[in-house]
């Protein structure tokens, strides 16, 4: 009786195991995954880069002479012209220095004229053999000395004239005046670290942003050279700090030929017109760069996985998932990759959940198509 009971139990267990194996087999051969048939298409990527806005010219206005401010002619925030007087420094000591320099020039001119006449007389006497060579050479040296003294006096006169002109602190550029803390009576000097005021020429604004070394190399490879990449660079947009997009597009006019050793990036500069004065110097924004690619292969990033800095996707071959390495365009929008190599038009790939698949997983294209129809 015991033997029969064991046989019956063994048969029951075998039946249960057979049923489990059949179910497992059905699951492995019947799994469905979203699939994508690769076809060439046009694509425009828009990538944002953090940027800093600066005026075309942000000039720090500093005094070139020392003294007390006697007049403040600039209004903060006002538009100023190149050469317009902003501040006046006490001119009294500089006018006195100018008069002194003029007197020194007059004295030097008189001395030079006297020495010249003396030399001419000595030359006549020497020709008549009245004086010696020594006396003639002495007269010549005295004349040269007075000429040098005259030149020095004229240089000091020029310095005095310049110093007097520097008492009128003028705007070096057209632009808008910033804020200033200097008022009448303030003592200033050329060695001070704080500028009197800043003047910003913001008729056009410079927007600085950076690309990685790989991105710049990709542009160079695409266009053939850095100069050609700059000439072919598309117009860029500007997203302001409040999320709005500036109404006027800009152009990239400079690509630095050097890599920043600290950040490993290459600096670029875009120029934007600022007729409505909406862009402010010192502001932050995002530069939006479009990238147009014609007839390229585009796949979702969810269709890929990465191992040791290499990107893979699962291509469906004979109803099985086959891991396939691919090369992608360096620039992406965070949701899709443009495939440079590894896939051909007509290839079928698993479009989602690539990181959960394993090599050789059975994929049922028919079941996937049926799922799509049911969702529709």
CATH classification at residue 123: 1.10.287.470
Looking at residue 44, its pLDDT comes to: 81
> 172 and 86, same structural domain?
yes
> 274 and 243, same structural domain?
yes
- The average confidence (pLDDT) of the chain is 86
Q: Which domain holds residue 107?
A: 91-165
Looking at residue 16, its pLDDT comes to: 38
The CA-atom distances, in angstroms, between 89 and each of 84, 178, 189, 287, 293 are 15, 19, 10, 44, 61
Residue 372: pLDDT above 70?
A: no
Residue 181: pLDDT above 90?
A: yes
Residue 15 lies inside a defined structural domain of this protein? no
Hey, what are 148's tokens?
A: 């040098």
| 46-66 pLDDT, tens digit each | 888 999 998 888 899 999 999
Pairing relationship of beta strands 284-300 and 265-273 according to DSSP bridges: unpaired
The pTM score is: 0.58
E strands along 11-159, which residues? 35-37, 40-61, 67-72, 79-80, 85-89
Residue 21 lies inside a defined structural domain of this protein? no
| 313-358 pLDDT, tens digit each | 999 998 899 999 999 987 777 888 999 999 999 999 999 888 888 8
CATH classification at residue 247: 2.40.30.170
Structural domain total, the chain: 4
CATH classification at residue 176: 2.40.50.100
């Amino acid at each position: 009786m015991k033997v029969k009971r064991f046989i019956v139990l063994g048969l029951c267990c075998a039946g249960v195991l057979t049923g489990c194996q059949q179910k497992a087999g059905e699951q492995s051969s019947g799994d469905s995954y979203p699939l994508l048939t690769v076809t060439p298409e046009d694509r425009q990527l828009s990538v944002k880069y953090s940027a800093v806005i600066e005026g075309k010219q942000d000039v720090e206005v500093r005094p070139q002479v020392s003294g007390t401010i006697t007049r403040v002619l600039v209004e903060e925030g006002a538009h100023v012209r190149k050469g317009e007087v902003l501040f006046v420094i006490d001119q009294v000591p500089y006018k006195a220095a100018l008069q002194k320099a003029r007197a020194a020039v007059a004295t030097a001119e008189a001395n030079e004229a006297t020495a010249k006449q003396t030399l001419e007389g000595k030359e006549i006497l020497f020709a008549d053999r009245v004086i010696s060579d020594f006396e003639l050479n002495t007269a010549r040296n005295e004349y040269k000395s007075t000429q040098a003294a005259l030149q020095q006096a004229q240089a000091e006169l020029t310095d005095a004239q310049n110093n007097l002109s520097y008492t009128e602190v003028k705007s070096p550029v057209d632009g808008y005046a910033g804020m200033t803390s200097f008022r009448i009576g303030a003592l200033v000097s050329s060695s001070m670290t704080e500028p009197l005021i800043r003047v910003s020429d913001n008729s056009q604004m410079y927007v600085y942003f950076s690309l990685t070394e790989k991105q710049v190399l990709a542009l160079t490879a695409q266009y053939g050279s850095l100069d050609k990449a700059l000439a072919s660079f598309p117009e860029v947009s500007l997203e302001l700090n409040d999320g709005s997009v500036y109404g006027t597009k800009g152009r990239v006019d400079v690509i630095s030929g050097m890599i920043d050793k600290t950040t490993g990036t290459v600096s670029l500069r875009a120029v934007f017109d600022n007729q409505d004065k909406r862009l402010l110097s010192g502001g932050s924004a995002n530069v939006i760069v479009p990238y147009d690619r014609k007839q390229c292969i585009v796949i979702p990033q969810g269709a890929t996985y990465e191992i040791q800095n290499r990107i893979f996707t699962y291509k469906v071959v004979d109803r099985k998932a086959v891991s396939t390495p691919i090369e992608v365009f360096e620039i992406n929008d965070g949701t899709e990759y443009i495939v440079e190599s590894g896939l051909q038009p007509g290839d079928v790939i698993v479009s989602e959940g690539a990181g959960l698949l394993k090599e050789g997983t059975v994929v049922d294209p028919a079941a996937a198509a049926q799922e799509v129809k049911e969702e529709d």
